[in-house]
Structure 1
Amino acid sequence: MGGVGSGRGQLSTPRLRADTPERAGLDPEELRRLVRDVRGLTTGERPWAAGVVVVAGRGPVVAVQEAAGWAVRYARYDREADAGVELPPASRVPTTVDTPFDLASLTKLFTAVAAVQQIERGTLGIDARVGAYLPDFRAAAAHDITVRRLLTHTSGLRPELPLYDCADAAGRLELLREEAPVTEPGAYVYSDLNMLLLQQLLERLTGRTLDVLIHDGITRPLGMAATRFGPCPGAAATEDQRRPWGKADRGPLRGEVHDENAWALGGVAGHAGLFSTGRDLAVFCRALLAGGAYGPARILGPDFVELLLTPPGLGFAVDQAWFMGELAGRGAAGHTGFTGTSLVLDPATDTFLVLLANTVHPRRREPDSAPRAAAGTRLKRAVLE
């Protein structure tokens, strides 16, 4: 059972600890600017987010752990006024560093790690055809979609399917079975369907559901006790989800997955559904920066972490300045989530940055990743060479 375990017989890697920026080899003044910038994201009449958590560090040192704003600020969205209806001050819930957030597409990173664990064990071939594992997924089999193409978003599948409009589970599954590529395989098209198909493959291969695979293979060995699929009652609120801006009429959401397809699939999906905290995600970043190990636990071997993070990345995006800022350029890897979440880990500087926000509270807007990129630039400029 290679790839996951307690690491017996191996040297334990350092666990994260809170310490000063200087101990981490980071410039304290630049980190003060980072904290100031992040706090400013929650202020003003129309803030970037109601609430924000930032956790950043270098090596085993967490140099920044800050929370600002509100986990729950609005009761609902008023369409006529185009504004959120604020709760009375006594009813609002402040954001803390322990507040869980709906991770949205950061879930894809965990699905990717679960897949690479099977590749390390030899039970899954990275260039194997999906049809070899899922012969009943006729369209994927007919078009020779491979595991690598799913992990690199080069399968040709379109970005999403309206599974949320399908009344029953059997119908949703049949839509996935029949979905064929809409572009020539090989070209990059970011698609939630890749991770939904990968979820089906992993569950068929292992006989275990994705939530169990992620818990047993990643979050439990790393001690990430706050990371799980919903419901998560104490999470930061997301959207007053209604049509026409949403794809379903669900009303104000807190602790239930925001993504409509993940909701339709029962809350456990390869592309969305996980909730987590900044501290837990810092552990996830640190484990990958340390070659797959954290404390006595190892979730991947170093060669397979390298496979995961080598451009263009398997599940992970690599060197994307639009949300990484100046951290991009030498192999930084990470992802963003529609709800306002992001993480970046940079092997070149041994740094990590987790930014969690509920930018869709009380309703979604055009995505704006400028604050994410600015935070990445602050951290990069803080690195003392």
Structure 2
Amino acid sequence: MESSTTSKSSELKKSCVNCGAELRYAPGTTELKCEYCGYTQEIAVSESSFEEIELKPYLDSMGSQSHSEEIMMLHCKNCGANQHVEENYKSLHCVYCTMPLIIEDAYKEDWILPGAVLPFMINQQQAHLIFRKWVKGLWFAPNKLQKAALDPQNTKGLYAPYWTFDAQLYADYVGQRGEYYYVTKTVGSGKNKRTVQERRTRWYPAAGNVSGFVDDTLIKASKQKSGVIPTKVARWKLNDLKPFDSSYLAGFVTEKYTIPLKDGHLDATKTARNIANQWARRDIGGDTQRITRIDMKLTDETFKHILLPVYVSAYKYKNKRYNFFVNGQTQVISGQRPYSFWKIFFMVIAILFAIVVLYLFIGV
């Protein structure tokens, strides 16, 4: 494992040279900013590209420690999220479920150092405005939900962990190519008698091989009991990834992966098999295809641990928790929502009343 110097450098708090307050990353920029006096400090831009780590040595030894370090973690006993806060502990609550986190329970743990980070492009206030606009547009939402949405403290920025995998793919396949043709048939009888075109398929044997580079297969690296980031939100433009610098984490919560690298690799292999299947069908051509056998091989496999930005808001209504998410880059929003029984009830009563009045008016 790397020396403790590496570990300490990644968690070093950066202080304002003017007032001594903690500097925080300013979303959408390459700067750290002091919220008290406005001082800014440029984040040094790395000239190196992302380091793709060779996968096999990690899987064989389950973590040659050459790219690992220690990080201070807080574990949520309620939902299972492992969280690191790159700032002073001001609000010790889980970003997913709002349950209190106890600083005395903090512990150090090894993690595979992130190879890249996608910085936040919007700040907390902007994300909160997106939440408020979304909440106001919800039909039959409880009044308490709208009141809860007024508190910006319920909206927290989170860097979510993902694995990405690259590989050279080669696959031999055996299948069939289907070509459509049409025959004329007579259906019905008497006046209903008519001719129709019926589509049929001629099948021809097909075999061959496909190959290519599979780039940045994105696999989620964390799992909680609840509070899962919706698929709609979990889409980022990975072209904007930056070489990892802990400065981008300042002021945000960072979640540690709970899905091991080997399990992430299994999911990536399934994705690669689906890609091989698509490539084989395209290679077969025709109007439709059948794949009876495909033998796939992956070589030159590499991986990265990356951090991706999302804002999370948690709200409890009648002892049930609801989560709302905003993509910290694209601003896409999605989430769960409660319904107000009384609003729906009175709406139904109003509709029934209107129907009765209309019926009496027409009857007159």
Q: Which structure has the larger Rg?
A: 2
Larger % of helix: which?
A: 1
Q: TM-score, normalised by structure 2?
A: 0.25
Larger % of strand: which?
A: 2
Q: TM-score, normalised by structure 1?
A: 0.24
